[in-house]
Amino acid sequence: MMAFLTVALAIFHSLAGLAILIVSSWFIAACAIAAPGFNYMLPAVVIRALALLRIGSGYAHMWVGHQHLLGLTANLRLTLFARLQSQKIHSRSEEVEALASHTEAVAALWVGWVSQQASAVMMLLMSCIGLWWLNVPLGGWVWILAVSWLIVMAILCLLGLTYAEEIARWEYAFRQHSEAQLAAAPIWHIKPGASLLDMMPKAIACWRANMLLQKRVLQAQWVFQSVAWLLLLAAFLALIHTHPNPGKAEPLLLIVPMLLLSAGDWLGRSYNTQPALNKAVQGNRKLNTLPSGSLNLLPGPPVEGAVTLCNFRSANLPEQCINAELPVNGIVWVTGPSGAGKSQLLQAIAGVEKSNGERMCANNILPSGLVPGWLYLEQQPMVLAATLKHNLCLGKAFRDTELSTVLIEVGLSHLVELGEWLGPGGRQLSGGERKRLNIARAMLHNGTMWLVDEPFEGLDLNAISSLMTLIESQANCRLIVIASHVIPAGVEPLHHIKV
Amino acid sequence: MNGTQTLTAWFRATVETQGVASRSTLYTLVGIKTCRIVIMIAAFWLFAHMMHTLVVLTVLPTMADWIGLSVALLMAWLLQGEANRRTLEAKTQLLNELESRFAQHLAIGQMAMVGQQSSYYWQSVWLHHLLALANWRYDYQVQQYVAVLAPVIALVGLFMVNWLIALCLLVTLPIVPLFMVIVGKGAAAQQRKHFTALTRLGSLFTDRLKALPLLATYRAHGSELALLKQASDDLNDRTMKVVGVAFLSNTVLDFFSTVAVALVAVFIGFTLLGEFAIGPVLTLHYGLWLLLTAPLLFSELKALGQFYHQKAEAESAQISLANWVAHIPQEAFNAAVNKSIEFEETQYFSLQDEQGRVSAADLHLAAKDKVAITGASGSGKTLLLQALAGQYPAGYALPCKIAMLTQQPVLLPATVRDNLNYQQVYSTSLLWAVLAQVELDEWVRALPKQLDTALHETPAISGGQAQRLALARLLLSDAPVWLLDEPTAHLPAEQHRALSELILRLSAHKAVLWVSHKSLPQDWFTQHWQVINGTVITGKVAGQ
């Protein structure tokens, strides 16, 4: 509904603009002739009314159009988010970030492209019908103009979409190529200067495709301009050579030449909107081909009992093979050099990553997926852009006193304001604070197993020992698996998995 | 307003040097577009004349008029084509120049520059930011000039034909920017009022997308969806309050251009009828011409609005590019990337960077010196090495070629041979000799295609082997100074010892600066530098 209102207002806006031009020129011609009985007040009023209509509909179009754009964007985003329930996205965070602009580009199709095209079509259609109905001399030329606009537009859209694909292809190739080159940056220094410059990533092919698209848009405008003016000149020529002397003054004669002369202005802009169509198409493709994977959420109450791993490994690491019997509570250390797959193993146990082999709990094989109550605590924990309370509760209800107690236990007593906003536009937490917040969250949600990834990385010795004390006390009532490349001094690991 | 100035000033100071993005190209484009406007005004004159003959005098226009109009329109059309062609050409040229400057900065800054940001960031510089600058320069800036010149030209013409209408338009003209400034201030005030909420709510969508696994773990997807919905309604309400005011700016322009045309038409009509008797005498010829020319006062300004997004894009390009498109003199570039492989004289040096992140006084380094560098993580050890390598500007860089070994060895997704031949092509026998030196020859001989085995096809290469391969590359490079940045950091104790001894043996004839957290025998070293909060202190005895 909003979409149609947007388009309708855009059409009003442009029709009113064109009508002002035509009525004004006809009006002064009629005034110049001043035929007897000419009612000059009415057209003067019409012109002023059209001016008001144009201004009003222009503002309304922008307002309603933007309202619609925002609503549609929100809708697209919410649908996407709902679709991604119990899924995760296999893209880099920057590409996830880009989804915001993709949804916007898709939503902007109405305001950016449909409105403009509909306006152009309606202006042409109304001109043709009006000219035919009023039997305006030379009206036939406008039909030719309309047909040529349509042809140029069709060609531009067709070409534009192929170029857009080409741009996307070149961009992909460039990203692949430059990724490899930039990854080699630590050894660039051993290359001699000249050959180093030669192998730098070059985006020239991407730009060439981009410039080609810009060129075609300009060319479309240019060609259309020539068609309009050729029609104007041809109409004059035909008039001079075939028409007998008019004899009678005819103000309507002015209308078609005026339309043809200014066609480039009132129709040429419609070609400019082609990139909006491209962006929408590309954005739509990105949204539909979003690389996401399912996180199977296992139902039911938290499972109880000792966990056993049989020939277990992360699906990403074919070399790994873990056999271990984990206790019901206490601490299990996962150690090994970095890159050996400590995090991968933890993620596989938690079910965040795909795994091979068997996870057994109380001698029942668990299907793959996220087990309720098994919490994976990331190395760099996510802190949601939300209030502190929201970050801790995550959809469950806790009393404020509970939250405060937990915050004090993890050593975040300086965060007293539960309603404080964390993230952009609010408080930025340090790496250590994030880790503590993550543990506070896990304590509140009370899982049966915590899988903690590199909790000591980036902490000083005091922080490590206080964190260790906290983890030890929490391990009395649950199993805590810690992946770390160091074991804090004074800790004697009882259970140890080496990867 | 300020943004434009800083962007323009930045562009002038940084990019517009050494003939890049020359002003003459810009002015030529402005000239062509202005010429077209003048010719269009002439064409309007002929057109109005023909219509006057046809409608008022009821005589057919002459062929001379027709030819005149044809020539004028043809010229305008050709100029438009020429402006298009030159714009694209200028953009392409500017892009090439910007890219080659950027590549030079990368070639000098290397890891010290690349390591600061993700590869996605650098790719955006190429794909978006450089392009945004070129578009801004040759669309937005050109249009800025045209939008100022067009009204002036139109006014001059209008004054010659009808001073009264010209005077009225001249009086209203300054009101347009005045209103736009007032509206702009209003919109900025709204923006400030909602700023915090807009920043917080604006990033919520992608924030939750990144947190999908977390939400799944805590089974909080449903509650977050409800929250997102509420937040996006709130966001949209607030955004509408801001843009609702901002749109007025556009409407002001629309108002003046529309009302001007409408009133000019009514005025001309009534004058022609004899209702008004103010100002010069009018005919349809003059009247129609005035009607066609008056919109030129506003139309180019409106066209500038279409390029407005380019300004915002160029501003963000300015922020991410900073100094990386500044000119580098050829000699400076050559000196930085082509260094000698001789290192004879002992170097005495001090260094200090602008940000105060690393500094050292009275250091010296002789050929075959072995320097142990220690310090807490984040104290600036890597930066010190990058400064000595000339990648990080700190007032001093070693005058000879260096070779670096980092924590994570770089393995190219290519064959063993291509990995070793990264710097230049060596003979097979030399490659085998070097592989023997780093004790990898047996391992390579056991590979299915030996030297020509692609590394990603082999069974996983261990950290120690990868580091040995990187060491082989170092040996091939002939650099007289080795900078080692914790090459054994990720290796187990046994491999650490073996690799360290190998490095020591192979670097007997080199100067070595060795950063290590793991213990190394004290008697390997001739000097010890300690880095504390970015300051290098010499003389501490190693291995305490």
The structure tokens listed for A132 are 């035919």
Binary contact (A233, B474; C-beta < 8 A): no
Per-residue pLDDT, B426: 82
- Domain identity same for B450 and B474: yes
Decide if B262 and A48 are in contact by the 8 Å CB cutoff: yes
Q: What are phi and psi of B352, to 5 degrees?
A: -165, 125
The per-residue pLDDT for range B350-367, each reduced to its tens digit, is: 888 888 788 888 888 888
> What pLDDT was estimated at residue B5?
55
Distances (CA, A) of B271 to B156, B260, B454: 22, 16, 87
CB B72 within 8 A of CB A221: no
Extents of the domains making up chain A: 2-294, 307-498
Are B542 and B519 contacting, i.e. CB atoms less than 8 angstroms apart? no
Q: Is residue B219 part of a domain?
A: yes
**Is residue A197 scored above 90 in pLDDT?**
no
Question: Could you tell me if A187 and B473 are in contact, meaning their C-beta atoms sit under 8 angstroms apart?
Answer: yes
| Residue A185 to residue B213, Cβ atoms within 8 A | no
Tell me which of A108 and B275 has the higher pLDDT: A108
The answer to whether A20 contacts B80, with C-beta atoms less than 8 Å apart, is no
Q: What is the pLDDT of residues A379-418, one digit of tens each?
A: 888 888 888 999 988 888 889 888 899 888 888 888 888 8
Exposed / middle / buried, residue A96 (Cβ in 10 Å: 0-12, 13-18, 19+): middle
Is B109 found in the same domain as B36? yes
Minimal C-alpha gap between A498 and chain B (Å): 12
CB contact (8 A) between residue A66 and residue B215 = no
Same domain? B374 vs B414: yes
Is the CB of A338 inside 8 Å of chain B's CB atoms? yes
Query: What pLDDT shows up at residue B3?
Result: 44
pLDDT in tens, A140-170: 899 999 999 999 999 999 998 898 888 888 8
The residue type of B507 is S
Return d(Cα A454, Cα B522) in angstroms, integer: 32
Q: What is the CATH number of the domain that holds B426?
A: 3.40.50.300
Main-chain phi, psi angles of B443, to 5 degrees: -65, -45
Give domain status of residue B146, yes or no.
Answer: yes
Q: What is the pLDDT of residue B60?
A: 84
pLDDT over 70 for what percent of chain B?
Answer: 96
Per-residue confidence (pLDDT) for residue B544, from 0 to 100: 37
The per-residue pLDDT for B89 is 92
Residue B153 and residue B185 in one domain: no
pLDDT tens digits, residue range A19-53?
A: 999 999 999 888 888 777 778 888 889 998 999 99
Give the DSSP per-residue string, B171-207. Answer: HHTTHHHHHHHHHHHHHHHHHHHTHHHHHHHHTHHHH
- Give yes or no: residues B143 and B174 share one domain: no
Residues B314 and B276 both lie in one domain: no
Residues of A in contact with B122 (CB under 8 A): 178, 182
Residue B290 lies in a domain: no
* Inter-chain CB proximity A193 and B406 less than 8 Å: no
- How many independent structural domains does chain B possess? 3
Structural domain boundaries, residue B200: 163-281
Q: Which of A91-95, A254-258, A464-468 has the lowest mean pLDDT?
A: A91-95
Pick the CATH number of A2-294 from 1.20.1560.10, 1.10.10.60, 1.20.120.1200, 3.40.50.1370: 1.20.1560.10
Look over chain B and give the mean of its residue pLDDT values, rounded to a whole number: 84
pLDDT for the residue A114: 93
A26 at B interface, C-beta within 8 A: no
- Position B543 scores a pLDDT of 40
Judged by a CB distance cut-off of 8 A, whether residue A389 touches chain B is: no
pLDDT value at A84 more than 90: no
User: Do residues B489 and B355 both lie within one domain?
Assistant: yes
How many residues make up chain A in this entry? 499
Better pLDDT: A123 or B471: A123
Residues of B in contact with A178 (CB under 8 A): 119, 122-123, 126
Going from the C-alpha of B165 to that of each of A258, A264, A494, B437, the distances in angstroms are 21, 26, 95, 91
The pLDDT tens digits of the residues spanning A424-475 come to 778 888 777 888 888 899 888 888 888 998 888 767 777 788 888 888 888 8
- pLDDT at res. B541: 47
Complete DSSP assignment for B218-243? TT-HHHHHHHHHHHHHHHHHHHHHHH
B248 and B375 co-located in one domain = no
E strands along B264-369, which residues? 347-352, 359-365
For residue B86 the two structure tokens come to: 């030159």
Asked whether residue B229 is assigned to any structural domain, the reply reads yes
pLDDT at B460: 64
Average pLDDT, integer, range A233-251: 80
Cβ–Cβ under 8 Å, residues A472 and A409? no
Residue A41 forms contact with B (CB below 8 Å): no
pLDDT in tens, A330-355: 888 888 766 667 888 888 888 888 88
Same-domain check for residues B71 and B36: yes
pLDDT, greater one: A231 or A99: A231
Cβ of A289 under 8 Å from any chain B Cβ? no
Given a contact cutoff of 8 angstroms between Cβ atoms, the answer to whether B476 and B418 are in contact is no
- Report the 3 state secondary structure along B512-537: EEEECCCCCCHHHCCEEEEEECCEEE
Among A88, A272, A375, the residue with its CB nearest the CB of B306 is A272
Judge contact between B384 and B392, C-beta under 8 A.
Answer: no
- Which chain A residues in 67-106 lie under 8 Å from chain B, judged by CB atoms? 67, 70-71, 74, 77-78, 80-82, 84-89, 92-97, 99-100, 103
Rounded to whole angstroms, how far apart are CA atoms B176 and B526? Answer: 75
Q: Does B265 contact A337 at a Cβ distance shorter than 8 Å?
A: no
Q: CB of A20 within 8 Å of any CB in chain B?
A: yes
pLDDT above 70 coverage of chain A, percent: 98
Q: Please state at what angle helix B308-321 crosses helix B2-10, rounded to 10 degrees.
A: 50
Measure the CA–CA gap between B403 and A451, rounded to whole angstroms: 41
Question: Which residues of chain B lie closer than 8 angstroms to A426, CB-CB?
Answer: 200
Residues B142 and B208 in one domain: no
Stretches in chain B below the pLDDT threshold 50: 1-4, 541-544
Q: Which fold has domain A307-498?
A: Rossmann fold (3.40.50)
Q: What is the pLDDT of residue A5?
A: 93
CA distances for A38 relative to A41, B23, B160, angstroms: 9, 56, 31
The answer to whether position B296 is within a domain reads no
Flag whether residue A107 sits within 8 Å of chain B, measured between CB atoms. no
The mean per-residue pLDDT over the stretch A108-113 comes to 90
Q: State whether A32 and B55 contact (CB < 8 Å).
A: yes
The pTM score is: 0.85
Higher pLDDT, B517 or A76: A76
Same domain, B154 and B175: no
One domain, residues B371 and B435:
yes
